[in-house]
Amino acid sequence: MLDLYLMSPPSPRWALRGRSNFRSREAPPVDAVRARFEWLALAEAIEAHGGTVVALPPDDDTLTGMPYAAECGHIVDIGDAPLFLLPRMASPHRRPERERWARLALEMGLSVLDPGRGTWEAQGDVAVFSGVTLLFHGGRTDREGMEAAAAMLPGELLRLEIREPAFHGNMAVLPLPAADRLLVCPDVFAGDGTDRLAARFGHDRLLFVTEPEIRCYATNGLPIGDAILAPSVLPERVRALFVALGLKVELFSMTELCEKAGGASRCLVSHARLGDGRARIPDENRLAKVAAAIREQP
């Protein structure tokens, strides 16, 4: 199997544009050079843990949301060619991103489809745990967009509604497959979402965090194998919880990408598991080439 992580580094002139989350609204200007090296540290750590990064270099300084690749699309390994399901973004300034990602997906040999209606922010509002695909709405994704995506996804689906401050489902839950646990923030579920998770997976497999903890990205670390790649603002209680589960916590300084711009390590990737030979990786999108460009021309 191939663990792919779609990513896109900040441009050399990267800046905050939308300012549409609780971190970025009042944040000072970002340091683009520092942000590029924060991104690179995470990308290289992913490959050190056995993942394969597919990096889409920036070619348009106005597409400032592209580093947050969780919203670039969602890959499912079905059919003659894996499906790349395009996003339908809430923020107007982010909508042109999907054209860039669609071109890359086609170059990789994927089948590109548009859900066709509503607002759907792709893997930002998708999580997979114990063979079940969790789909979220109520933040930036609306119910119509979620249902449009659901119609194209195989297997068992569990639909869940969230509320602010969780603008994506990846702030409400974090699957921890190596520990067979699901980290959950009950504070940001609308209705009976927490009860439905407990009914489906068992209460003893759920671990709980608070709204203040998710504001420090408790649910936005990136699990990879038995490690969690997390921003350094991760609450100490949550770090200790991971360690008690036998997970190795690696902390990354992310002052620009996370503390100012509002997206942590899990927000910076779209992850897919594909069978061997099911996708091509163009040479120009290999991490080594993109990393060299960052180091040579920060």
Q: For position 133, which CATH number holds?
A: 3.75.10.10
Please give the tally of structural domains in the chain: 1
* DSSP tag of 268: G
Domain that holds residue 140: 2-296
What stretches in the chain show pLDDT beneath 50? 24
Cβ count near 100 (within 10 Å): 18
Residue 98 has a pLDDT of 96
Q: Burial, 271: exposed, middle or buried (Cβ in 10 Å; 0-12, 13-18, 19+)?
A: buried
Asked if 270 contacts 74 with a C-beta cutoff of 8 angstroms, the reply is yes
Residue 117 has a pLDDT of 98
**Token pair recorded at residue 174:** 């974090």
Residue 17 has a pLDDT of 66
Gyration radius (Cα) of the chain, Å: 18
